[in-house]
Structures are given as structure tokens and as C-alpha cells.
Amino acid sequence: MAKKDTSKTNVTARAEAKALQSVCRFCGQKPEVVRVLTPSGKTQMFRKCCAAAGIAA
């Protein structure tokens, strides 16, 4: 039997994919999302990262 000296998982590729996912598509910063209750009683998702960057999204 051959000796396994390397893992099947490409750790570098997984780290790069994870880094790409953790960026907001609007402002480019780390996403911070909060659920806000509107005066009418509905919930809405609000991006704090975009508000801090000055982008209304």
C-alpha cells in the first residue's frame, strides 16, 4: 500500500473560497447584518457595514 503523505482537501483553496464569501457585495467590507423591526410590525434586514461605509443598501 502507498503511504498517504498529503490530504485530499486543498486547504489553500478552501481558505481562499472562505475569504471571498466573507465580503459584502455592496461595500466590500466584512458583512454585518441586523434584523430591524419596522413601525408597521414587519422585520427587515439592515446592513450595518454599508451604513458605516456611507452606502444606502
Alpha helices in 1-57 (DSSP H): 11-21, 48-53
Model confidence at 55, pLDDT cuts 50, 70, 90, reads confident
Calpha distance 38→29 (Å, rounded): 25
In three-state secondary structure terms, 47 is strand
**pLDDT of amino acid 56:** 63
Tell me the per-residue pLDDT of 2-28, one tens digit each, with 9 for 90 and over.
Answer: 556 666 778 888 888 777 678 888 888
Show me where the domains of the chain are located: 26-57
The pTM assigned to this predicted structure is 0.47
Q: How many other CB atoms sit within 10 Å of the CB of residue 44?
A: 10
pLDDT score of 1 more than 90: no
